[in-house]
Structure 1
Amino acid sequence: MHTVLIVDDEIDILKSLKRGMHTEQYSKIFASSGAEALESFAREDQISVIITDMRMPGMNGLELLRQVEEISPRTVKIVLTGYTQLPQILATVNNVEIYKFMTKPWDLDAELKVYIREAIEIYENTALEANKLISSEKKGKLYNKMLSESYEKVDHVLRLYDELIKALNQHHLFSIQALKSSDDKTKMNDVIQQMNDRVHYLNKIFELNRFAMKAFTLPEVEAHIELIFDKLDIPKVPLEVNTSENQLNYYDNFKMVTSIFTDIIELAHINGSEIQAVAIKTENLSEKHILHLVVDCVSNENLSEMLENHGKFVGAVLRIIGGKFYATQIEEIHRIEVLLPVKKKVFDSLI
């Protein structure tokens, strides 16, 4: 039986991996330090795969892998890293042979388990001399890939900043217009509450940007919406889902997507509107897909006022992340729509 060694100084991560990998058909060793990992090599006849974090106290991941390269060169190496560790990454590439670099956070089922199985196959089927996993050309590819991802991240932050300024300006404009039109204390309090709601929503969206990317499917989005209906005690309504996309994996900010969808449903509900139907649609657009939420609900005065005021600002904020918001009235029904771009899951390899 093959043995996989996983090294991370965060005990909670090791416990989580132990729970998530208990059904995998290979022996697993979990070590919380480089020294403990080397002791495992002394005890075991062979270790097929080692997965290690880079940033650890005492012996870091690079030092550990240098020693593993000396005592067990055939062990296939997988590294967990972050965008901020580019110097360590380059040092690792130049010193030891690495099969995969995984950027934190990673997905256990869609990424780590898959890469471990692939690494075991490499260990089984490839002789040491024929299996130079990172050649000089591949080192250059890896270097360019990491630089490209770093530049993309900077560009993304700058774009978010530009869009944030636009949203703040729009918030300021809405506030000034509302204050000028208010003529009594009661209306003034309503205006202040609207201002607070807008700032709260803007803060929430930017806070959600910090959540990890993860792999997910359309049925998971559907399940989350059904949970929201149960939580809000909303009577069951028709929930239409594009079943042709059920097996497609997305890789994006699942927490943000589902939170935005939840907000729309909650806004309709708390404004006293009866929700008639919900649909989740998808649209293929080059390397991205568009998730399209449609909520049909009965029109009322509160809902119309909310869409006229807060709804416009929701649209301005969603544009920051590339999304769109629409609210249209069709006779007695208000149709609220949210479109969010999400990435398709693609497993790439340097090999």
Structure 2
Amino acid sequence: MNKVLFVDDESNVLSAIRRCVIDEPYKAFFASSAQEAIAIMEKNELSVLVTDMRMPGTDGLTLLKFAKEKYPRTVRVVLSGYTQLSQMLVTINQGEIFRFITKPWDSEQELLPAIRQAIDYYNLQVERDTLRDNLAKRNLSYQNILKLMEKRLADEKHELNNLKEVSSWMFSFWRKYIKGVSDSIGNSTSLDQFVDEIEAVYLTFLSQLPAVEDVKNVSSLINDIVKDCNNRVRINHDSNADYNTRGNHKFLIMVFKILVHDLPEDYKVVTCDLTENKGRDKKIDLVFDLSVNLKKINANDKNRLKISCALLNRMGKSYNVSILPDIKDEEVGHIRVHWETTED
């Protein structure tokens, strides 16, 4: 409901206005001084202010200037018997009034129509401001949506380029093996075993696409790795360290899943030590050191691990992940998974 404030120091004038507006569809307030009017304005959102000019103490012009400064949307109307031209011009120029009604007035022809028009003007301002605010919010939402779409398109393009590079390198690696050029995977590896391992790694990599950069607590990350590896990995980590990491956690978890899967089923648990090195600008290096009991795995399993490490290390370049295997004919081997990320 709209609210209208009438201000006049003459009680008979306020009484006449009260009778005049009693049936109008707005709530009317009445004040006999500028101070009383200000108190009402501070407690109510007024649509229209109707004030006399000549009042003891604070006059109508001062009240109008106050309302203009503090409540600029309130429509200001002057109702005064003082009609000197110079004073009217000052009032119009400094108070920015909507109407100037002279006393005595005609209720049906002057006062009521002027107030109704002032209310309509106020409502138009509110509607305009509401539409403008809604438009601004919608524009902001559209901008955010466009930015999100642009980011997704950029991420997908980046991911597609990564996939092309991985595919190109994978088949190049395959050709080198077939030609007998590569010695890194061992001569005892059969072609079937080599192809099977490439297929397993590649399909697992495809299953975790698209890449998603998110934020994850380091404790939550450890739990997710253990869970996805069916509790076959035990990660030793300082329980007091609690921080968030930002990056592609899905790829890192996939690395562990593949490495643990390459171990025989009777190899129950892989021990892993996690250390972190924090640098400038929230840079942080996480190093996962997996200890492998080489006595529990045969030559074929070793070769599978070597193939997986070579493939994952190449794939990991796009995600700042490197896999450094140290699997020799010794009692204990190590696979170090190094992730360069940021602390969020």
Q: Normalized against structure 1, the TM-score is what?
A: 0.45
Larger radius of gyration: 2
